[in-house]
């Protein structure tokens, strides 16, 4: 266990160091440098396909356990933590399928190995989907850069360390399957991005940023449902989670339709422009260490994982402040020529109110969220922080613009 902790901590440090070295270079490229020709293919479509295959495997796994092991999953459950293998063996349709399946022994690979291949494309496609929603050009830059194979290696290393820590009769097979997936998945996503011609970009406005945050939250709910009901082999919980999943899917559909109708404001506010820049840099910086930080909380040193996550956020804020300052010097900012206060002090003053309000909202959301998986608490707290911060940023920018207009009048 001590060795596992050291290895996970080391992976967190290496992942963060590599992303700090490479991610800023990816974003330095001129806009449009990653343009592609071909048919637009969203990673969300393939994320849905992978998710469907995951659930098909869960059904086949249940059939295998029912027919070959008499409905008792203890042959594998004994090697894994509590909270796994809540099977849907009582479902009438699953029972009928199990009764009529001709050669159930052929379903043996459904035990861990199919999932070992699918987990990497599931997480990488989910992250790619979020990045494409935010900025399709950023999506092409990341997926056609060295960040994608780095992320594939980092994620696969995390999965393999956890596999080895939870050793079972299928571990060696799983490690080989994950290595194959680590090669195939980034090649597939890179090819997918190379054919993408999307032009979506989240506007630096309150509606634009709120729609993006809402989309991120809805997708996060769906990912957690898949994690709870499928990735932990708990298909028996799906009927209880289905209303939540349908609500999240419906909200996501509406939000993406709204996003397609939004446009960039002619003069984005200083604070909202900074927030957009910060989110852009954070998405690039967090892409590689995301899974290492997530598992570092459980299998490594939580303080180190949290510090690594905060370091990527702080770096994103510094880079965003640099870009916002450059825009202001170029005459596109919200300060105006008559401002005398230093740019950094003015931005810090506006962001101070934003961070305070967002932190209070995040603390309240985390306190009110039922304690299940820590990711649920993290998702609700992050969503509350971002929504509150964006709204406050919009109010602060509107107040500052009104003061500037009053002074000039």
Q: What is the pLDDT of residues 3-58, one digit of tens each?
A: 889 999 999 999 999 999 989 888 775 444 444 455 567 899 999 999 999 999 99
From residue 200, alpha-carbon distances to 68, 136, 261, 327, 385 in Å are 50, 5, 10, 21, 24
CB-based contact 148:189 (threshold 8 Å): yes
- Widest distance between CA atoms in the chain: 83
- Rounded to an integer, the average pLDDT of 219-246 is 95
Task: Identify which of 324, 36, 304 has the alpha carbon closest to the alpha carbon of residue 196.
Answer: 36
- Please say whether the beta carbons of 389 and 352 come within 8 A: no
In sequence order, what are the beta bridge partners of 135? 201
Distances (CA, A) of 338 to 273, 341, 342, 406: 20, 9, 12, 13
User: What pLDDT score does 334 carry?
Assistant: 45
Tokens of 137: 């050009």
What pLDDT score does 79 carry?
94
Residues near 105 by beta carbon (within 8 Å), at least 6 away in sequence: 68
Q: Which residue in this structure is represented by tokens 């880079």?
A: 319
State the pLDDT confidence band at 165, using cuts at 50, 70 and 90. Answer: very high
Q: Which pLDDT score is estimated for 58?
A: 97
In this structure, the number of other CB atoms found within 10 A of the CB of residue 254 comes to 14
The pair of three-digit structure tokens given for residue 55, joined into one six-digit string: 């659930």
pLDDT at 265: 85
Confidence of residue 327 (pLDDT cuts 50, 70, 90): confident
CA–CA dist 400, 133 (Å, integer): 29
Which residues face 201 on adjacent strands? 135
The region of weakest confidence among 71-80, 233-242, 252-261, 391-400 is 391-400
Residue with more model confidence, 267 or 408: 267
Q: Residue 330 pLDDT > 90, yes or no?
A: no
Q: 297 or 406: which carries more pLDDT confidence?
A: 297
Q: For residue 267, what pLDDT band results from cuts at 50, 70 and 90?
A: confident
The answer on pLDDT for 343 being more than 70 is: no
The confidence score (pLDDT) of residue 352 equals 82
CB atoms within 10 A of CB 146: 15
Taking residues 329-347, what's their average pLDDT?
A: 54
How many CB atoms sit inside 10 A of residue 71's CB?
A: 14
Give the model's pLDDT for residue 338: 43
In this predicted structure, the answer to whether residue 298 has a pLDDT above a threshold of 50 is: yes
Among the ranges given (67-71, 259-263, 330-334), the one the predictor scored with the smallest mean pLDDT: 330-334
pLDDT band at 107 (very low <50, low <70, confident <90, very high): very high
Query: What is the pLDDT at residue 251?
Result: 97
The C-alpha angle 43, 320, 352, rounded to 5 degrees, equals 115
Banded pLDDT at 370 (limits 50, 70, 90): confident
pLDDT of residue 31: 45
Report how far residue 255's alpha carbon sits from residue 351's, in angstroms, rounded to the nearest whole number. 27
Residues 242-271: what's their mean pLDDT?
92
Q: What is the pTM of this model?
A: 0.90
Report d(CA 267, CA 264) in Å as an integer: 9
Which pLDDT does position 329 carry in this prediction?
A: 60
Pair 289, 308: CB distance under 8 Å: yes
Mean pLDDT across 94-100: 94
Q: Is 70 exceeded by the pLDDT of residue 296? A: yes
For the chain, the average pLDDT equals: 89
């Amino acid at each position: 266990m001590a060795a596992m902790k050291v290895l996970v901590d080391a992976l967190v440090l290496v992942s963060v160091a590599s992303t700090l070295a490479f991610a800023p270079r990816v974003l330095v490229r001129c806009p449009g440098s990653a343009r592609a020709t071909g048919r637009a293919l969203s990673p969300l479509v393939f994320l849905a396909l992978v998710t469907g295959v995951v659930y098909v495997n869960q059904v086949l796994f249940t059939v295998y356990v029912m027919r070959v092991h008499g409905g008792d999953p203890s042959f594998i459950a004994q090697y894994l933590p509590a909270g796994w293998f809540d099977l849907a063996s009582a479902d009438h349709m699953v029972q009928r399928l199990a009764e009529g399946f001709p050669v159930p022994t052929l379903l043996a690979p459904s035990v861990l190995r199919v999932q070992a291949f699918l987990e990497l494309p599931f997480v990488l496609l989910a992250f790619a989907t979020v990045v494409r929603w935010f900025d399709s050009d950023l999506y092409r830059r990341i997926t056609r850069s060295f960040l994608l194979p780095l992320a594939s290696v980092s994620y696969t290393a995390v999965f393999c360390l956890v596999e080895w820590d939870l050793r079972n009769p299928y571990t060696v097979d799983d490690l080989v399957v994950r290595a194959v997936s680590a090669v195939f998945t980034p090649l597939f996503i890179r090819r997918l991005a190379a054919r993408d011609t999307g032009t979506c970009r989240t506007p630096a406005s309150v509606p634009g940023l709120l729609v993006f945050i809402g989309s991120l939250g809805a997708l996060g709910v769906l990912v957690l449902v898949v994690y709870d009901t499928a990735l932990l082999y708990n298909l028996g919980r799906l009927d209880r989670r289905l209303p939540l999943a349908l609500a999240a899917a419906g909200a996501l559909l509406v939000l993406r339709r709204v996003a397609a109708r939004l446009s960039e404001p002619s003069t984005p506010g200083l604070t909202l422009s900074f927030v957009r820049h910060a989110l852009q840099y954070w998405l690039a910086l967090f892409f590689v260490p995301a899974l290492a930080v997530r598992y570092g909380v459980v299998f490594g040193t939580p303080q180190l994982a949290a510090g690594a996550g905060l370091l990527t956020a702080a770096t994103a804020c510094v880079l965003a402040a640099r870009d916002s300052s450059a825009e202001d010097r170029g005459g596109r900012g919200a300060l105006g020529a008559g401002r005398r206060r230093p740019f950094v002090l003015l931005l810090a003053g506006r962001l101070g109110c934003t961070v305070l309000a967002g932190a209070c909202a995040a603390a309240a959301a985390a306190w009110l969220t039922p304690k299940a998986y820590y990711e649920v608490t993290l998702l609700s707290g992050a969503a509350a922080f971002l929504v509150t911060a964006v709204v406050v940023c919009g109010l602060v920018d509107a107040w500052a613009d009104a003061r500037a207009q009053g002074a000039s009048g």
